[in-house]
Chains A and B, each alone.
Chain A
């Protein structure tokens, strides 16, 4: 438990996205549907770009031909971000990955990765050990079973990582509807709120929000 972490900002965070690939998506059986994980991850990427949060992107087994590259809909949000391909499930065993994280200059890392108890947990645990603050996005990650997903979440929290959700990460980055990031926040949030109902009815969106979202997109 760490009482000193406080609210994180876009100035002190980097976004780290790991192994959003074909095989990892296909075997998901935990609480958040694969389509919503994809949408949430796209939103994180869009918001990070809109708020100048540096992004590190990594894949596993692409060069060796075992796995496909980053899921196309997610890759499409990450134009200009070169994926760092690895053979190790522990991202921090890759020199290129460690260097890319260090090069962001940020000490607070927000992780999304597939799958929760393996490539996400290993990266988060190693980040903490290396002295970073680590946050993970529970509804942008998943695993082969619900118990595997929940076990990974528990392990990371007990180690000192901060659980968060996609919407809260985006809000935490810009915070203030009259603040300096409010304009880009309106567009990216509006886009998300109009996309969610096409993917799931398990996330609440109020009528007023839907109207504001459509206005922001038209505006």
Chain B
């Protein structure tokens, strides 16, 4: 338990995205549908870029030819960011990964990774041990089963990591609709709110929000 973490800001965070690769997507069987995981991850990437939050991207088994690279729709949001390919499922065993994280200069890491109980958990647990604050995005991750996913969420929370959602992260980064990031927040949030209904009807959106989202995109 840590009562002193407070609300996180765009200035103190980095975004770390790990193993969003087609084989990992294919075996997801936990609560968030894969299409929504993909959309939520794209939104995190777009928002990080819009708010100048540094991004670290990593894959596993691409160089060895065993696995395909980052899911194209997600890679398309990450132009100019070189993926760090690894052989270890524990990202922190990879020197290039550790150095890329350190090079962000940020001590608060927000993690999205597939899958929850393996590559996400290992990275978050090691980040905490290395002295970082760690947050993970429950609806941008998934596991092979619901119990695997939930077990890992429990493990991460008990270790001191902070659970959040994609929307929670984006809103936490800019916070204030009259603040310095509000202009950047409007189109990126508007884009998301118009995409969600194409992917799922399980996420609520008010009519006035849809109207504002469309207006923000048209502007």
Q: A residues bordering B, Cβ < 8 Å?
A: 1-2, 22-24, 26-29, 60-61, 64, 66-67, 87-90, 92-93, 117-118, 121-122, 125-126, 128-129, 144-145, 147-148, 150-152, 154-155, 158-160
Which of B62-70, B120-128, B171-179 is found at the contact surface with chain A?
Answer: B171-179
With a cutoff of 8 Å between Cβ atoms, the chain B residues found around residue A26 in the complex are: 204, 206-208
Whether the pair B6, A117 counts as a contact (CB closer than 8 A) is: no
Q: How many A-B residue pairs have CB under 8 A?
A: 119
Whether the pair A147, B3 counts as a contact (CB closer than 8 A) is: no
Question: How far is A129 from B207 in the complex, measured between Cα atoms in Å?
Answer: 35
Question: How far is A26 from B212 in the complex, measured between Cα atoms in Å?
Answer: 15
Given A29, A125, A147, which contacts B5 in the complex, CB threshold below 8 Å? A125
With a cutoff of 8 Å between Cβ atoms, the chain A residues found around residue B139 in the complex are: 145, 147-148, 151
The 8 nearest A-B residue pairs measured at CB: A27-B204, A87-B178, A26-B206, A88-B176, A29-B204, A23-B206, A129-B6, A128-B3
Whether the pair A61, B209 counts as a contact (CB closer than 8 A) is: no
Question: How far is A128 from B177 in the complex, measured between Cα atoms in Å?
Answer: 24
B155-187 to A contact mask, C-beta < 8 Å, 1/0:
001101011110110011001111100000000
**B205 part of interface (Cβ distance < 8 Å):** yes
Question: How far is A89 from B174 in the complex, measured between Cα atoms in Å?
Answer: 9
Question: How far is A66 from B212 in the complex, measured between Cα atoms in Å?
Answer: 9
15 A–B contacts from the bound complex (CB under 8 Å): A22-B208, A24-B206, A26-B206, A29-B202, A87-B178, A88-B175, A89-B177, A90-B7, A125-B5, A128-B3, A129-B3, A148-B139, A148-B168, A152-B168, A159-B1
A118-B171, A122-B7 are contacts. A158–B204 as well, Cβ < 8 Å?
Answer: no
Whether the pair A90, B204 counts as a contact (CB closer than 8 A) is: no
Given B163, B168, B179, which contacts A118 in the complex, CB threshold below 8 Å? B168
B124-148 to A contact mask, C-beta < 8 Å, 1/0:
0000000000000011000000000
Question: How far is A90 from B168 in the complex, measured between Cα atoms in Å?
Answer: 11
With a cutoff of 8 Å between Cβ atoms, the chain B residues found around residue A92 in the complex are: 7
Question: How far is A67 from B211 in the complex, measured between Cα atoms in Å?
Answer: 12
Tell me, rounded to whole Å, the shortest Cβ–Cβ distance linking B140 to chain A: 11
Whether the pair B205, A144 counts as a contact (CB closer than 8 A) is: yes
Q: Which secondary structure characterizes the binding site on chain A?
A: helix
**Closest Cβ neighbor of A123 among chain B residues:** B7
A90-B176, A147-B138, A151-B139 are contacts. A117–B165 as well, Cβ < 8 Å?
Answer: yes
With a cutoff of 8 Å between Cβ atoms, the chain A residues found around residue B6 in the complex are: 125-126, 129
**B214 part of interface (Cβ distance < 8 Å):** no
Given contacts A27-B206, A158-B160, 12 further A-B contacts (CB under 8 A): A22-B208, A26-B208, A66-B177, A88-B175, A89-B172, A90-B175, A117-B167, A126-B6, A129-B5, A144-B203, A145-B139, A151-B163
A23-B209, A66-B212, A154-B153 are contacts. A148–B165 as well, Cβ < 8 Å?
Answer: yes
Question: How far is A202 from B3 in the complex, measured between Cα atoms in Å?
Answer: 34
